[in-house]
């Protein structure tokens, strides 16, 4: 027998012996039940891996890995048999590769696996939940054909559904717990907002918490400006007004507030270290009860505390502590706001004044003191010094004379030789209109005129006076059309009426576009004659008079100041951008060759000398006077 025959025989024998084991694994209800009822992730991983290895032939070693952090570090969660360091490294590398590629992978496979007895390869499949890798399973199996390896990969893929289902079940359980906490918190918020006043809200809160958290006692303390004072107590009829109990409760609350952390007695194995002297005293006073105190914080400042008490032996688990902490975080700010709102008006006013005086005269808040001194100096300066009162207004440069070139008739743009910003000479062609239709029409009417002339001659020859008169009228009609078309052909060329600059009009993107008669195509302004148009607010226009001097700065010439003189105030207001203004015309005192029509800037017109305080407050005072007059009954 050859080696290959021996290998084939051993493989067939292994397959024959594996079939009963596979059937047994599939029918092993106990193993399936243990997997379904696994109480911890560790048990789930062990039972699942054992079940998978029972379903797959010739598994030498197997490891189930789990991602331990955000970087994807893999740690073993379950083993099948033992694995040497060398084999463990191979399984780990294959699992990492499967997670990186996001699919099942095989490493160490040879195409002649059937003839290589004792040779093994590694197969791995990742666990991906909602696009995030949870871990992977890696198996070291006897090398086999590619078809058999695909069967192994399918088995791992089907088995991965169990892991994903368990993970989703755990997520759903955690989500249910968070939803339950949110529902309780919302119920408490509604309860607190529904009650009127701090006392009623506090009593309703502790009573409701005692029922929701299953506590024998829930106490609420308030720390306004000193130690905690018990303000509400559940089951108050049972405990009455025991002074020793009240002092012990307040001391435990102060202990938690001083540490700004929850305090639990007796302390669990996983709890952080806390000072618990007052809590131990209270626990002994209540027959070794379990005490949990959570401080109520507002802006990281303790404003009170919630104390929960259960009988001996009924400890708080971590979920219960988290719930109580969440409820305290929700209820604390609401209760503190209600407590502050319940104070008398004089108490609120005095508290506010005292706080401001302490900040102003105390050692801190240096910035506030500097600001107050600065404001005082500024007010004194503005109340004593004078300056020239100027009215600022948006301004625009316009040509003193502007000429518009409009379309003489309906037609189409043929050519364009100038556009906005170009300087032109008188008679220079700026654009032309398409004249083909006019020329065809001109030719048609010339032909018609020739026909009517011939007809007229024929009527004369026939001594038909009536027909000759009609033909003569038609000749005159044709000549009128020809004259009209000649005039329109002359107007197809748009020429400049004088030397100047084109301030508007750009037909470079409209070649071939249709225009209607009267459409403005260009606007030309001269280069040596400008005026300044100011947009003065209606509240300041009465201070403007002809002859007043001012200065203008345009955005294009910020390094130059242009003096001007007011000439005319128009009596008509305009509204734009939410403001009403009057157009005021001014004349530049000197010419400037760099100016162009359309330049915009800010103009300041000098009125008179006034106190700085009046200059800066004039607009505000006028607005206040107007609003008071409008609102006064």
Scanning 66-145, the segments in alpha helix (DSSP H) are 85-101
Q: How far is CA 561 from CA 545, 601, 606, in A?
A: 21, 11, 14
- Across all residues in the chain, what is the average pLDDT? 80
Position 317 pLDDT exceeds 70: yes
Contact call for residues 107 and 122 (beta carbons, < 8 A)? yes
CATH number of 529-631: 2.40.30.170
Q: What is the pLDDT of residues 10-45, one digit of tens each?
A: 333 333 344 444 444 444 566 666 666 665 667 777
CATH number of 3-173: 3.30.450.40
Tokens 């060329």 locate to 493
Position 191 pLDDT exceeds 60: yes
Going from N- to C-terminal start, the domains of the chain cover 3-173, 195-341, 403-522, 529-631
Residue 216 DSSP class? S
Residues 22, 13: Cα–Cα separation, whole Å = 14
Angle value at C-alpha 426, between 420 and 442, nearest 5 degrees: 90
Position 294 pLDDT exceeds 80: yes
User: Comparing 3-173 with 195-341, is the CATH topology the same?
Assistant: yes
* DSSP assignments along 491-535, one per residue: TTEEE-SSSEEEEE---TT-TT-EE-TT-EEEEEE-SS-EEEEEE
Position 626 pLDDT exceeds 80: yes
- The model's confidence at residue 357, banded by pLDDT at 50, 70 and 90, is confident
Contact call for residues 78 and 64 (beta carbons, < 8 A)? yes
**Is the pTM higher than 0.95?**
no
Q: Which of 329, 289, 279, 287 has its CA nearest to residue 309?
A: 289
Task: Decide if domain 195-341 falls under CATH 2.40.50.100.
Answer: no
Q: What is the pLDDT of residues 114-152, one digit of tens each?
A: 545 557 888 888 888 777 778 888 888 888 888 888 888
What mean pLDDT comes out for the span 282-301?
A: 87
Residues 299, 197: Cα–Cα separation, whole Å = 22
Scanning 110-242, the segments in alpha helix (DSSP H) are 146-194, 198-212, 236-239
Structure token digits, residue 337: 């706001």
């Amino acid at each position: 027998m050859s080696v290959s025959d021996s290998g084939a025989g051993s493989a067939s024998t292994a397959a024959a012996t594996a079939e009963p084991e596979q059937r047994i694994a599939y029918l092993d209800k106990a193993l399936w039940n243990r997997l379904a009822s696994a109480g911890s992730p560790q048990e789930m991983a062990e039972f699942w891996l054992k079940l998978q290895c029972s379903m797959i032939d010739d598994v030498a070693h197997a490891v189930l890995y789990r991602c331990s952090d955000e970087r994807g570090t893999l740690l073993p969660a379950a083993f099948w048999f033992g694995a040497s360091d060398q084999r463990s490294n191979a399984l780990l590398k294959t699992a990492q590769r499967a997670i990186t590629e996001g699919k099942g992978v095989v490493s160490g496979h040879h195409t002649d696996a059937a003839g290589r007895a004792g040779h093994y390869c590694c197969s791995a499949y990742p666990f991906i939940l909602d696009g995030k890798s949870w871990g992977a399973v890696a198996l070291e199996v006897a090398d086999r054909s590619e078809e058999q390896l695909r069967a192994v990969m399918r088995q791992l893929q089907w088995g991965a559904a169990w892991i994903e289902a368990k993970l989703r079940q755990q997520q759903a359980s955690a989500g249910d717990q968070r939803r339950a906490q949110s529902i309780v918190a919302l119920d408490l918020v509604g309860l607190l907002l529904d009650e009127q006043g701090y006392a009623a809200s506090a009593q309703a809160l502790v009573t409701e918490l005692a029922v929701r958290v299953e506590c024998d006692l829930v106490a609420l303390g308030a720390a306004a400006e000193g130690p905690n004072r018990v303000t509400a107590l559940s089951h108050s009829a049972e405990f009455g007004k025991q002074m020793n109990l009240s002092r012990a409760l307040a001391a435990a609350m102060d202990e938690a507030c001083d540490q700004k952390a929850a305090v639990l007695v007796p302390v669990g194995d996983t709890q952080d270290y806390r000072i618990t002297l007052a809590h131990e005293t209270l626990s002994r006073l209540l027959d070794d009860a379990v005490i949990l105190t959570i401080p109520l914080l507002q802006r990281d400042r303790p404003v009170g505390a919630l104390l929960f008490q259960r009988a001996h032996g009924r400890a708080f688990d971590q979920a219960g502590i988290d719930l109580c902490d969440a409820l305290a975080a929700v209820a604390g700010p609401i209760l503190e706001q209600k407590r502050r709102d319940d104070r008398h008006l004089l108490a609120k006013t005095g508290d506010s004044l005292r706080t401001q005086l302490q900040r102003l005269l105390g050692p801190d808040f240096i910035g506030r003191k500097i600001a107050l001194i600065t404001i005082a100096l500024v007010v004194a300066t503005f109340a004593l010094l004078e300056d020239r009162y100027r009215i600022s207004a948006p301004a625009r440069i316009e040509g003193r004379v502007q000429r518009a070139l409009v379309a003489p008739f309906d037609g189409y743009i043929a050519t364009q030789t100038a556009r906005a910003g170009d300087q032109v000479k008188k008679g220079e062609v700026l654009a032309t209109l398409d004249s083909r239709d006019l020329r065809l029409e001109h030719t048609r009417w010339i032909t018609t005129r020739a026909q009517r002339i011939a007809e007229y001659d024929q009527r004369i020859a026939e001594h038909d006076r009536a027909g000759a008169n009609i033909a003569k009228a038609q000749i005159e009609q044709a000549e009128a059309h020809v004259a009209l078309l000649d005039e329109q052909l002359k107007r197809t060329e748009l020429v400049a009426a004088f030397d100047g600059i084109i301030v508007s009009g750009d037909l470079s993107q409209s070649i071939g576009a249709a225009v209607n008669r009267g459409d403005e195509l260009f606007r030309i302004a001269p280069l040596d004659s400008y005026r300044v148009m100011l947009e003065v607010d209606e509240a300041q226009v009465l201070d403007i008079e002809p002859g007043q001097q001012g200065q203008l700065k345009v955005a294009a010439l910020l390094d130059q100041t242009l003096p001007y003189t007011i000439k005319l105030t128009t009596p008509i207001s305009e509204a734009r951008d939410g403001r009403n203004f009057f157009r005021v015309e001014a004349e530049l005192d000197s010419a400037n060759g760099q100016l162009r029509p359309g330049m915009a800037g800010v103009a300041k017109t000098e009125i008179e000398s006034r106190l700085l305080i009046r200059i800066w407050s004039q607009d505000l005072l006028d607005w206040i006077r107007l609003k008071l007059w409008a609102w006064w009954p």
